[in-house]
Amino acid sequence: MGRRLTWGLTAFRADLAKDLENLSDADETGALELLRRVRDNRHDLVSDHHVVTPIVDFLCSLNANYLTENLRLAFLTKTAAGKLARRSLGVMFLRPERPTPDEEDIWQGLLRPVFAEVDPQFATHLKRLLGHAPQLLTCLSDDSCRVRMARGDLLEGLHDIRARDNTFIGQLAEHLNSSTDRRSRAHRAAAVARS
């Protein structure tokens, strides 16, 4: 029998430990169970991206099929500096690793000027994790803010945000009208989003 997770129960007899429901082996299964039970599952809890590295390393070392969508991983996400107020729109975008020209237009023309984004130092770890297990994208969201990839399939998401915050359209228009280059990118991005 392997080691047991027995914090505070070091003197507890091994023969009695098997009868406790809340006791798990100190192995991959036990670690995943702890990640399913994270209590304070929200963004911006961790300020140093090095803290999340061992967790992402561990998750990437497991078979992707073993990683289920009930893991509570929002604590791995940090909002980029100066973008906290934008979280009120209910979505934070993660820029693609190698964006296509269309995705770059969406990023620069529509998303970056208006929405919260994942801190670039944390984004590197999250992209590695999602490259290994894409189904974990939903696990990165917290109760007030979803994490989404910045891709062309976001028209429905923009509609949800508009329905949630009636000032969104005005904010978006203000940012889009602030420069000719941004307007041009926004028009190209809108064409991509419609297709």
Query: For residue range 138-156, what is the model confidence (pLDDT) as tens digits?
Result: 999 999 999 988 875 665 6
pLDDT band at 176 (very low <50, low <70, confident <90, very high): low
Q: What letter represents residue 82's amino acid? A: G
pLDDT digits (tens, 9 = 90+) for 58-93: 999 999 999 999 999 999 999 999 999 888 888 899
- Mean of pLDDT over the chain: 79
Bigger pLDDT: 48 vs 177? 48
Mean pLDDT (whole number) for 164-174: 67
What is residue 67's predicted lDDT score, i.e. its pLDDT?
A: 95
Other beta carbons within 10 Å of 119:
21
Q: Region of 126 please: left (phi>0), alpha (psi -120 to 50) or beta.
A: alpha
CA 33 to chain centre: 19
pLDDT of residue 1: 41
Tell me, what's the pLDDT at 30? 83
Q: How far apart are CA 118 and CA 111, in angstroms?
A: 12
Confidence of residue 6 (pLDDT cuts 50, 70, 90): very low
Arithmetic mean of pLDDT, 27-49: 89
**CA pair distance 70, 90, nearest whole angstrom:** 20
pTM comes to 0.71
- Looking at residue 51, what is its pLDDT? 94
